[in-house]
Amino acid sequence: MIDWPGLMRAGLLGLGLHPDQFWRLTPLELRIMLGAEGSAPLTRARLEELARAFPDDGGHLDRDR
């Protein structure tokens, strides 16, 4: 459940927003303004998964694409 009173206090009192400014924000914009964390850090397991899915080609770029 969303804590609207808490979010409104953070936006109106903490950030100094006017009510119309608060209600025009998207949830993502509010999260950014409140300093919420972005994506999780890249783990070794995720890096290895990406390396298998997108292997290096030995440093050669296909410039014809």
* DSSP 8-state secondary structure symbol assigned to residue 15: S
pLDDT of residue 63: 61
pLDDT of residue 61: 62
pLDDT of residue 47: 92
Contact predicate 11/22, CB 8 Å: yes
pLDDT one digit per residue (tens) for the chain, 65 residues: 889 899 999 999 999 999 999 999 998 899 889 987 767 788 999 999 999 999 987 666 666 65
Single pTM value for the model: 0.53
Question: Could you give the count of Cα atoms lying within 13 Å of 61 in the half-sphere of its Cβ?
Answer: 3
Q: What are the E-state strand segments in 1-65?
A: none
